[in-house]
Every structure is written in structure tokens, then in C-alpha cells.
Structure 1
Amino acid sequence: MAFNLLNAVNNLFDSNLLNKAAAAFGESETDIQKAISGTVPSVLTGLLSKADSADGLQSILNIAKDAGSSGILSNLSGFLGSAGSSFSGLTSMINNLFGDKFGSIANIISGFSGVKQSSATSLLNMVAPAALGVLGKHASENNMSTSGLASFLSSQKDSILSAIPSGLNIAGALGLGSLSGVGSKLSSFFSGAESKVSHAAHEVKEARKPNWLVPAIFAIAAFALLLYIFKGCGGSNEAAVEPKHDSAEMKHEEIKPAASAEPVRESLKVKLPDGTEIDAYKGGIEDMLVAYLNSNDAVSKEKWFDFDDLNFETGSATITQSSMKQVQNIAAILKAFPNVKIKIGGYTDNTGDSVANVKLSQSRADAVFAKLKALGGEKQLDGAEGYGPTHFVASNDTEENKKKNRRISVNVRAK
């Protein structure tokens, strides 16, 4: 399975570490999780924004490899509370390292997630070295040169940029006209990377330090690099459309199954018993559900129908306006089949923390339940349940298959 940098960094922040962070910072675990969902792609976007020159790539490669071998990835909890005494110098010098840009980044993460700005600052202190450590470990294991790093980051760009939650203005914090400026610079550089980037790896050797000092020294170096990254992010104002933020979470934002090549879907009118006709697609949930309700097939708890045009706002359980058409169609079907009762199920892929995934799937199932209830289907709804990363309809080996597993489904309990 292809290595995904965003997922690898996110996976470091499991429920255990999130619990510890929440307790250490005096925040709720939910708010900490939301803050992490914005902090990780923001830090990685900062790295991408600097990876548009040979010098920038070489700097990132050197410090990332040092990070990967420092042991910091196994001691992230060292940044929390008194356990992180060896990191105490970071807090006092962080503003000097990043200046106004660091404060802006911490501020937007605070506003986005609801955590205190001091908590957002502390999370940045953790995520930045963690991200560099993951990148460095992967680069070392694959013996990457700067051109190899250029190619790798190019392959990760879309995943990273699409993971930035809506409402998180990281482009403004980085001094960019838009995030598409990052993509444009990367594309331009990577297209000529083989001829422009030196293949000679620059190894940095340091004297042995006591084990507790290694993570602290690396973390300071990591933030120095990120100061360099964020300081150099202000020169691009290339006009282009912002990338769509439609991947989860936790990159889990688009619920409908996705095909590798979008086929042209055949529109049709689905006629209901009460004479109503609804607009749908051949093979879509409306078409399949009505055919089942009109059949003599027995009710089964194993038979589920997946919404195929239902999406949520990034990182939330808010149904997008464009998705309401399909929700309204399901409400119309319930009205036309008054004896039918259904249950709503929510599912995710296996990326990220399973507990958080169950919570997200429950919230989204509840949101669909609430909309159908408001549309008059209350007596026909037999509950909503979030199953999280279970009952997969595809393997979780590609983004395409993961999208298929991130879904909301309907099970008929009576007809």
C-alpha cells in the first residue's frame, strides 16, 4: 500500500495521546481532536510551500532525516506538562522563531477548533517535529535524494491540501493569496526536478547527546526550519481556485462512493405509489430502494442501501446543501410507503483513531435521521447508529476504496 504522509502523521495522535493532551492543556478531547485535524495539514502545507527550490528541499531533507532518527516519534508525550521538562525551552522561544506568522497560525487553529491559543501553540510544538520525523524516517528507509523527496511531496500534495478543513484560513496565515499558489509552485518545480535538484545528500553528523536532549535539540531545530518555511511563504499570490476540501478524516469528508473514472450517470424518473415522481440515477439509492420495496423480497438486517449523493461539510456532521435533494427523495419514498420503517447507519474507513471514527459516523447518521424526521418521517425511523470503521464494502488500500467505505446507509426494518 502506498505510503501516505498525512495519514502517517495523523496516526501518531491516537486516542491515548489526545486524552493526555486534553488533560495537560485543560481542553476537551473533542476540541483537541479538531485542533489536530487542522494543525497536521497546516504544518505539512508549510513544508510544501518551501519545497519549491533545491535549497528548500535540501534543508527539509537534512533536518527531516535527523528528526526521523532522533527518537522523538516515540516520545511525543514528552511535550505534555511536567513530563516534558526537557522541552521547556521551546515555549519561551517559539514566538521569536516564528514571529507574527506563528501567532497567526496558532490563532486560526484556536478559532477553528475552540481550544485556547496557548493550547494551539503547544499542539504546533508537537506536530511540527512529529511531521518532520515521519517524513525523515520514510526518506531514510527509501534512501531518498532531494529529487526523490521532490517527487514524493508532489505525490502527497493533493492529499495534504484537500485535508485542510473549510473555515481554516491557512493560506492567509502563510501569507499566500490562495492555497493553489502552493500547488502551482510545486507543480512548476517538480516538473523539472530531475534536472534542477542535486542528487548529493548532505549528511549532518552530531556528537552524541544524552537521550533526553536529542528530542529537545531536534524540536528546536525543527521550529527553526519551520520559521524559515513560514517566513518564505509570503511571496506567492497566484490566482487560482482553492482546492476542494473533501477528504477526511481524519480526512473523512465525502460520504458517497467514488469511482476511479467518473462514469456518466443515467438520469431517470422514479415513480412512487402515490403518483409522485422523483429525479434520481439508474442504480442509485432511490432506484434500488423503490425496486426493493415493490418486490416480494423479505426484510433483512443484512441488506443496506448506500446514499450515493450525500456529502458533509469538512470535519463535521453538517449535510451540504447540494446533498439535501437525495435526503428529500428518501423522505418522499417514506411518505409513499407508509408501512416502511428504516434504520440509518454511518460508516468510515479505517484511517485514524477508531473511537473518533465511531463518534463521527454516529454524528452523521444522527444528522440524516434528524433531517428525515423534520421532513415528516419520524414514525418511520427506527434509529440511527454509527458503526465507524466496520462492515467495509471495499478494501482500505486506496483512496478510492476508502471513499466507498465512508458512507451513510439505509436498512429496511419493515415494509
Structure 2
Amino acid sequence: MSINIVDLVKNYVPQDLIAKAGSFLNESEGNVSNAVSGIIPAVLGLFASKASSSEQGAAEVLDTAKGFSNSGVLNSADTLFGNADLLSKGSSLFKGLLGDKTNSIIDSIANFAGIKSSSSGSLISMVVPLVLGLLGKHATDNNLNASAFSSFMGSQKSNILSALPSGLGSLGTVLGLSSIRDGVQQTVSNVQETAAPAYNYARETAQNAGGGAKWLLPLLLLAVIALALWYFLGKGCNNNTATSTGADTTAVAPTDTLTTVPQTPPAPAVKTLAEVTLPNGTKLQAYPGGIEDQLIQFIQSDEYKNATDSTLKEKWFNFDDLNFEFGTTKLTDSSKRQLDNIAAILKAFPDVKIKVGGYTDKKGDDAANLKLSDGRAKAVQAALKAAGVGAQVPQAEGYGETLAKVDENAPDEARAADRRTSVRLLKK
């Protein structure tokens, strides 16, 4: 049986909870119910866009969701408005994802439901923990890793988009779901373009045949409908044709599109951990070509031996399996493996020192981004200190969005490249 994540969340927001929320906020129960009907898909859309944008995004959402699930929020939903800590976390996560668009979303939902903007914000703060708690429970119950969770959330986008009330349909673009609607509209347009010539031909054929052959028109129209259905169901909805890599732009399309079998694109490469042995005999589990490999090779190279601190300033190495909970400086549990690896590398090369750098994308307030990136860099520094190599990590600094290259209005998957934590070697 297929799962609709929107319906699952709605089961955890019963009418008595809506009634309590209305009483607490001094809003009518009906208006609160309308607001929640828009908030649930809006919040789910944000997390779906984040989780399906990259495996890193999926890992961040998954770890955060499991944390909320383990907090027992699903078993105490009726007391949420008395839990200031959970409400604060819900608000922070929502703002962390939307940045400067937060207030416009809150106001849109308030106007749609006929409630105060402050009430809209409070309801969002209530729904976020419930959504994350349910996502964490679903992932745990089904033993989903980051990759499987990303696929699951991506598969739910159409359910989420269709659950947005008509008065809030424009939010699809902000939530990163508009591509679904655009794809459906494009498919319908393609069907119309494909079917129109056939329909015209059918009509002309029947007319030219005279009155005795007008019975042909319904049959020909059925053929047109069959063609349209084939296009929509076969080509439009299940188009698995591999995307061009740009290597050969002169390829000629097949002349018989009706018999062309769509080609299934190759599955994305799955990263697999491999064993790495350090000079002191310590063995690590790391991704080939990841930060561990890069650091070890560079430390042992002539380039590093001959480098000065000035030349090293431009040589940064990005963590590829280190994440933080949304909008916070708290490292996720899944980050421990790579932090332990970096600590082990520093212990194997006791003369090496590093600096930690934190970076954000352009979305949100500049000052807040700078503060967040600095806090995250120092959180990594603190974790390495706790692992026993604090003296080898004397510096940690956040750079905010100063080096971000992707526009703040770009899709989340594009902006992900600007959100990173890195290290560079020091020679002082």
C-alpha cells in the first residue's frame, strides 16, 4: 500500500489538539483547522525539498527527525503548547530553512486562514516538531538510511503539492515544489501538441468520406485519446530517458518515437567506505577520495613540506560526511565517524596543525549567517579537542556567506555547495 506522508501527519493532529490550539491562541477552531491544513504540507514541503536535494541534506533532516522522534513528541502532542523548548526549536528550524521568506509564509497562512500572524507562527512552531517526529519514526520503523530517506521524501512531493489548499498554491515555488506542477503542465501541453494534428486529420477524414462514413470519427477520436494516454502515462509520467551529458550535442532523435524504448539512466554511484591505514598502524573507515584521503596524501606530499602558511591559506579540504541539525551548531550523530577519523589522522601526524572554517549560503540574514558559521566551526574545534587533539586545532573561524557564489533564490540543491565546513593546514 502506498504511503501518503501528509495523511500520516494529519493523524497526529486530531481535532481536540486543534481545539486546544484555538483556545490557547484565542482563535476560532475552524480558522485554526484551516491554517493547519496549509501548514502541514508547507512544512513537509520544506523538509522534502531539503532531504531530496542531496544525500547531505537527507542526512541532516534524518538525524534531526530521529532526535525529535526520540524525544517522545508523538506521545505528547496534546501538551505541545506547554513545551516552550520544542516550540522554540520548531520556530528556529522553520526560519533556518526559509530565511528572509519566513515572515511572508507566516503572513500568507494567516491571511488564508483568517488568523493573526502571531498565531500562524505559533501553529507552525507546533507542527514542525510533529512532522519531524513522524518522519523520524517512519525512518526508524523502516530502517531507512540517508539515501533511502532522500528517495522517500522525493517520492512524496506530489502528495505534498496536491495537499496545499488552493489559496496557498503559490507557496509551491517557495517550498521548492513548483517543478512538479511545471512538469505536469508541460506534459499536458505536450499531449495537446501531439494529439492536435491527429485530431484534425481524423475530422478531415470523416468529413471527406461523406455522410456514410461519419461513423469513423468516433473511432478515430478513440485512437487520438489512446495516443494521448500513451504519451501522458508512458512518456510524460514515466520518462526515464537518460539526461544528456553534453558530450555529444549532434545526436539525431529516432524517427519512430512510438516504438522507441525509454532508456533507464544508470543508478547514481553509491559511496562505499573503505579501510585506510595510517602510518602509525591505525585503521580508518573512510570514503575513497574523501577528506581523509585528501588530507593524508597532502600531508605526505612535497607540496605541503615546501608550503608556507601564506600559500596554505587557499588550500581547504571540505568535510563530506559532517552535518549539523537545522539552524543550530549541534553536530549530528552521523558526524562522529568523520570527526574521529580527523582526530586519528592528527594523532598519526602530531606535528600537523589545522584551522576549521565554517561557511553558509546566501539565504537569510548576513549577520546571523556569520554567527552560525562561526559557531559551527568552533563546534568542530570543540569536538576535536574532546577527542584529544585540541592543541593541533588552535583556530576556528566562520566566514558566513562572504564566499558564497550561488544566488539566494536558487534551488536548495544548488545552494548546498556553499554550505560547508572545511579545514586547512597551518604552518606557524
Shorter-chain TM-score range: 0.3 to 0.5
Greater helix content: 2
Question: Which fold has the larger relative contact order, with Cα–Cα distance below 8 Å and residues 6 or more apart in sequence?
Answer: 1
Q: TM-score, normalised by structure 2?
A: 0.43
Greater C-alpha radius of gyration: 2
